[in-house]
Amino acid sequence: MTDPGGRASWGDGLRFGFGTLSVLRVRVERWDRAAGARAMVTAPVVGLALGSVAAGAGALVAWRAGGPLGAVTAVGVLAGLTRGLHLDGLADVADGLGSGKPAEDALRVMKQSDIGPFGVLTLVLALLAQVAALAGQFGHSPLRGALAVAASAAAARCALAWGCLRSVPAARPGGLGAMVASTVTPAGAVAATAGTALALAAAGLLDGWSVLRLPLALALGVGCARLLLGRCVRRFGGITGDVLGAMAETAATGTLFALALLG
């Protein structure tokens, strides 16, 4: 049994992460800020697990039907494994930022169930960029495409730790954003990203040049997410669950874009 008032274990964090960041049926035994902090640091593990499933599906389709269909399959599987949670956050943040309204009104725009023109445009462009970048990777080889899928999924979850740094407040009370806001130390975020970069470098041994490409693309993708974080904090006063989702999609797209530019 876990003491609800004590220090959360890494197991608590992993269950919290898989239970909230995926469709997998996981029994979340602890729902508090301590477990949330662990979840945000271990979120790249969730990303690598989901990314591996999507990578396998994409590689199989690319092998049989070509790179473009493999890319669509991988992006679709990842969206399905997360219930489209991060994509929804990206659209909501785009509408909030694009509204031009004061922070409180912009946050209300983000909570609405419908998607506005800024959200639709951002979703379309992000998905097109992801599919186009992955099509190129799968076109080179199913293995390289699979590694790109895994890298983008891991980068998306690395971004979550940076969004939950102790220096970043919640924009409003309640919700997942408030639960995990200001819970992660800088050392925790660095460790999560560095550990993920090492894992990707090891996986890149299967594809030679990817030993360097994957960690570098990861760093660039997370850097893009941090730029978005700064904009959202200035605009909304902090983070929400939608902001974290938007950061995840931004990191994923940035990573894939970087891989495409790196050859």
pLDDT at 88: 95
Which own/partner contact pairs does 73-81 have at CB distance under 8 Å and 24+ positions apart? 74/134, 74/138, 74/145, 74/149, 75/127, 75/130, 75/131, 75/134, 77/53, 78/50, 78/51, 78/54, 78/149, 78/153, 80/23, 81/22, 81/23, 81/24, 81/50, 81/53, 81/54
Mean pLDDT of 99-122: 89
* pLDDT higher than 90, residue 211: no
- Alpha carbons within 13 A on the beta-carbon side of 246: 27
Alpha carbon of 203 to those of 145, 195, 199: distances in Å? 13, 12, 6
Res. 112 pLDDT band, cuts 50 70 90 = confident
- The Cα–Cα gap between 46 and 48 comes to 6
* pLDDT higher than 50, residue 3: no
pLDDT at 8: 81
* pLDDT higher than 90, residue 208: no
In the chain, % helix, strand, coil (3-state, to 5) comes to: 80, 0, 20
- Encode pLDDT of 240-253 as tens digits: 999 999 999 999 99
Mean residue pLDDT across the chain: 93
Res. 102 pLDDT band, cuts 50 70 90 = confident
When comparing pLDDT for 182 and 1, which is higher?
182
Res. 92 pLDDT band, cuts 50 70 90 = very high
- Encode pLDDT of 223-246 as tens digits: 999 999 999 999 999 999 999 999
Ranking 5-14, 93-102, 170-179, 213-222 by mean pLDDT, the lowest is 5-14
**Three-state SS at 170:** strand
Ranking 77-81, 108-112, 151-155, 226-230 by mean pLDDT, the lowest is 108-112
Res. 53 pLDDT band, cuts 50 70 90 = very high
Ranking 141-150, 167-176, 237-246 by mean pLDDT, the lowest is 167-176
Strand partners, 183: none
Which own/partner contact pairs does 224-229 have at CB distance under 8 Å and 24+ positions apart? 224/250, 224/251, 224/253, 224/254, 225/155, 225/159, 225/162, 225/163, 225/250, 225/251, 225/254, 226/159, 226/162, 228/93, 229/162, 229/163, 229/168
pLDDT at 136: 96
Res. 6 pLDDT band, cuts 50 70 90 = low
pLDDT at 183: 95
